[in-house]
Chain A
């Protein structure tokens, strides 16, 4: 009887995380562990120029002198950085010129994940379905980028970071590390030394990118980390909307994902950056799962530039992530919309930083945290106005929803106003999903699961509506799946 129950629970668990499969594919690894040799190995694999290798080595040396941060409200055993692979790539030829050259096995993986890589599927697609270009990153390398030609026709560069280093060194040298400096923090520094791939976007002046761009990150190899690097540059009056998604197989060990994302905005530019993060969260007892330690920052250098971060964080065993906006340009604005869901034993310490440097800069933060099971969710945010940021304005709303009695939610807002004309508003609420509301919905005919879904969707609505349409639907489903079995 116990065995039957255990099996059915395991099946349920499988059902819950649908992306947990492992693909058996020939892969090439760097020797295990981290040293200057590892850095040189990665750089050589990618055929990088000397300036890039020097940049990496400099980062590695600085990293050795740094300590892991310990201020976040997360707990995990000490990471042994020597006990992991820093490079894993499918053995096949990397960077194929067309889809026909991509290993069919890899294409099958993305098909299974529901990521359309075949351009003709869009071209022949249903009328009205939006087109979006995809860069697919599998472990350490980008396997394919779609719609490059169509994008190039309007001057938009969308390619893997490796390709950008080879093909557009002047842009990479000018901007890489200019938003998140090499030694910004422990994990960003590590990333700078060993990053393997990621996406690069450049939108030239006055161009509105004709389609959504997206990168789909997949960790497949065991005992490996993923260190991707994304750089997006929106030149004067350019616009781009970008989305990233992430999944990983279910494995009992923890895997490290330490990414860096840099956004650069010149005068009147606008970037909308959305994330649906669904890394493997570990099982219901807290075993396994991804450590998601990520640095994301946007630099609004240009006047009147505008950046918007939207994130739906449902995966990962531990999330440590604060997508930030440096509002340097006069009249620039930053937005942060976040849904962070933790269930079982997940831990999330996430939020944003709005750094107001320029005059009349504005920012808006809407953060919704949902905790269930034995999980912990912390909103950590900083809003600061520097002396020159006359007339800076911020509105912050942080709401926490607790489901069940064993979870916790914390809100840690830091507010610094160094000039008298700044206006900051902060609202925060914490509520428990009420039994009375559940009963009310169930009395009308909703099952318990449906009632929880409906109430939670109501709670996160302000943020969901910021996501591009197709992904809002996806995110809504994800929210429901993440909270399955959290009541009763």
Chain B
């Protein structure tokens, strides 16, 4: 379970999150919605440990482990996965090599041995097929020359191979056409599991037609200002964020 208590974060001395609290039990999918500039991406970067995001107060734990004191790779080994809004290009490194290096690095950090090459290939082939991805794409340099949809699909593939306990999806729907959105969402839905918490960050309700959240939270001015069931997302779609922006101000 992800447990965030009273989290405050500054970027370049400017307060972005101020006293954010949130709990995502294992097995649940929670959506974070909010207007631009509310701090949605700051929340995901802070949980993943991006340098430059300075925690000024509060805590964040995953199954009781303090995430904030760990460096990004140690958080990954603890099971934190961030699907990036803008996945980075890694020239010269085939996606399959990247993924295998990542997997073995995590295993090493957890005191496990490397996965064997045949086992790894079998695993990746199965996951790629489930996402309707051409395996040849994995031989190309990671994300280099990929379309927006291909990049997002590659993020979901990485997520399903690395099998995290906390999956954070940052604006996964941005840049996706409707077919890609459906495939990516199916991939995410397939990853719902009783031992996994998922945090879906999105600006639009559209994604939530495909990924049905257990809870919806509204983030405005750096904190959660409203929480509810899936119907809250529909209300936001109809009425906009104005009410919450004003309430938070």
A455 nearest CB neighbor, chain B only: B90
Residues in A with CB closer than 8 Å to B105 are 444-447, 450
Contact check, A450 vs B50: say whether CB atoms are below 8 A apart: no
Is B92 on the interface with A (CB-CB < 8 A)? Answer: yes
Q: Cβ of A444 and Cβ of B98 under 8 Å apart?
A: yes
Number of interface residues of A (CB under 8 A): 24
Residues of B in contact, count (CB < 8 Å): 33
Assess whether B84 is interfacial by the CB under 8 Å rule: yes
- A435 CB within 8 Å of chain B: yes
Please tell me if A440 contacts chain B, counting CB pairs below 8 Å. yes
Which stretch (A62-70, A175-183, A233-241, A457-465) binds chain B?
A: A457-465
B76: nearest chain-A partner, CB-CB: A445
Once A and B bind, how many residue pairs between them come within 8 Å at the CB atom? 82
Distance from A264 Cβ to chain B, minimum over Cβ atoms (Å) = 35
CB-based nearest B residue for A459: B92
| Nearest CB of A to B111, in Å | 14
Please tell me if the beta carbons of B51 and A454 are within 8 angstroms of each other in the complex.
Answer: no
Distance in angstroms between the alpha carbons of A451 and B97 in the assembled complex: 12
Taking a contact as CB atoms under 8 Å apart, the answer to whether A446 and B91 are in contact is no
How many angstroms between the C-alpha atoms of A451 and B88 in the bound complex? 13
User: Hey, which chain B residues are within 8 Å of A443, CB to CB?
Assistant: 48-50, 72-73, 75-76, 80-82, 84
Residues of B contacting A446 in the complex (Cβ-Cβ under 8 angstroms): 73, 101-102, 105
Contact A457–B76 (Cβ < 8 Å): no
- Cα distance, A455 to B144, chains bound together (Å): 13
Q: Provided the pairs A439-B50, A458-B93 are in contact, do residues A444 and B141 lie with their beta carbons within 8 angstroms?
A: no
Residue from the list B76, B81, B97, B99 in contact with A442, Cβ < 8 A:
B76
CA of A134 to CA of B75 in the docked complex: distance in angstroms? 48
Cβ of A404 to closest chain B Cβ, rounded Å: 15
Chain B contacts of A457 at CB under 8 A?
92-93
Chain A, range 414-452, C-beta contacts under 8 Å to B: 434-437, 439-448, 450-451
Closest chain B CB from A256 CB (angstroms)? 36
Please tell me if the beta carbons of A439 and B51 are within 8 angstroms of each other in the complex.
Answer: yes
- In the complex, the answer to whether B106 meets A445 with C-beta atoms within 8 Å is yes
Considering the chains assembled together, what is the distance between the CA atoms of A434 and B51 in angstroms? Answer: 12
Shortest Cβ distance from A431 into chain B, in angstroms?
9
Residues of B within 8 A of A440 (CB): 84, 87-88, 90
B158 interfacial by beta-carbon distance below 8 Å? yes
The 0/1 profile, CB within 8 Å of A marked 1, for residues 92-120 of chain B is: 11000111011101100100000000000
Query: CB-CB < 8 A to B93: which residues of A?
Result: 454-455, 457-458, 461
Q: Name the B residues within 8 Å of A447 (CB-CB).
A: 73, 105
CB-defined contacts of A461 to chain B, threshold 8 Å: 92-93
Residues of A near B141 (CB, < 8 A) are 458
Task: With A445-B109, A457-B92, A462-B92 given, name 7 new contacts (CB 8 A).
Answer: A441-B98, A444-B105, A444-B106, A445-B106, A446-B105, A450-B73, A458-B93
Cβ-closest 9 pairs across A and B: A458-B92, A444-B102, A445-B106, A458-B93, A445-B76, A442-B72, A461-B92, A440-B88, A445-B105
Subset of 27 A-B contacts with CB under 8 Å: A435-B51, A437-B89, A437-B90, A439-B50, A439-B72, A440-B87, A441-B90, A443-B72, A443-B82, A444-B76, A444-B98, A444-B99, A444-B105, A445-B73, A445-B76, A445-B106, A445-B109, A447-B73, A448-B71, A450-B73, A450-B101, A454-B90, A454-B101, A459-B91, A461-B92, A461-B93, A462-B92
Task: Report B's interface with A, CB cutoff 8 A.
Answer: 48-51, 71-73, 75-77, 80-82, 84, 87-93, 97-99, 101-103, 105-106, 109, 141, 158, 162
